[in-house]
Copies of this chain bind each other. A is one copy, B any other.
Amino acid sequence: MKLGQATIKDIAKELNVSSSTVSRALKDYPGISDETKRKVKELAEKLNYRPNAIALSLRKSRSYTIGVIIPEVVHFFFSTVISGIEEVAYSRGYNVILSQTNEKIGREKSSIETMLSNQIDGFMVSYSKETENFDHFTRLLDQGFPIIFFDRSTDIPNAINIMVDDYKGAFDAVSHLIEQGYQKIVHLAGPKNLKISKERERGYRDALKNYGMEIQEEYIVECPVGSDEESKEITTNLLTTLPEKPDAFFANNDMAAVGAMAAAKSLGFKIPEQIGIVGFSNWQFCSMVDPSLSSVSQPGFRMGARATDMLLDIIEKKLDPQKITEPITLDTQLLIRNSSLRIKS
């Protein structure tokens, strides 16, 4: 803050009282004469007094600030989560301090250090793709420091995880494709080390099993990057080389789904008549591509809001983290659009 910001001392000096009196008057403590209160408040108003939150933090060892560690800000799902976080934090009087890791563990660790230095009251974390060792988190959790992991969950004992029900989302999507009569369904899978990828793959497998269909391992293809270009290349390859041509794609994310769509179209396939496609995440563009892309929508805002409410409850001791033993899962919703709807009922 610039010079010239009035402090309690300034008010005290000007009114010839002690700073404790001013402090008490401002907070309507009992045992201060109405007269003094009035004078203090009047002058505070006049001087545009604003309490110094930093001094307060130092004194209380509480900053009313939570730290958000996120892989990328420019990402539809994550920005939606941030929005939910910010909304709840604001309404409960907390600040949000934000850092993106760009999927780098080094940056993740250093951001955590900085935030701890800044005495934040708790963390909301979606860890980076590079993170395989979780010691920097367990250490904090063991100290009793509040952390909530969102979207990307961990196996750390006692950690609180909140995520989307990826398994069920995938299960629903693939079941839908089967019900639409698709037989050879490829899964464009995500990075193997992320739990969400594994869960989605599990949903894919179980849906097939559930309908008595065989699982062919060559139909499960990893798309490590997750971009549309990558997927277009992979999909073109599959459609031209596999002995039994696939007739549907269930993608781990919407970008990959769009890549598959582009590949199929440029090879002359009709969508959804010959090839069906379903993505995951329900990004904004799903309704804008042609044909519109069916997708599994994830409740990002709700996830951010819910997680923040829990974190603040823990910080404020309204909730005992020990009591939360199960991961919290939020329901997804399958949005059926034209890319997978060939049986009009």
Contacts and interface: CB of A to CB of B under 8 A. Distances in A.
A228 B290 CA distance: 14
A54 B51 contact: no
Interface string A237-266: 000000000000000000100100010010
A29 interface: no
Most buried by B among A54, A76, A116: A54
Contact of A51 (B76, B115, B117): B117
A91 to B, nearest CB: 10
Given A54-B57, A285-B288, A289-B285, A97 B99 contact: no
A52 to B, nearest CB: 7
B144 A2 contact: yes
Given A83-B72, A119-B52, A285-B284, A98 B100 contact: no
Interface in A256-278: 258, 262, 265
A343 interface: no
A297 interface: no
A98 B99 contact: no
B228 A117 contact: no
A95 interface: yes
A125 interface: no
Interface stretch (A106-114, A177-185, A318-326): A106-114
Given A50-B116, A52-B117, A284-B285, 9 more contacts: A1-B145, A2-B144, A52-B58, A53-B114, A73-B73, A73-B83, A82-B98, A83-B100, A86-B98
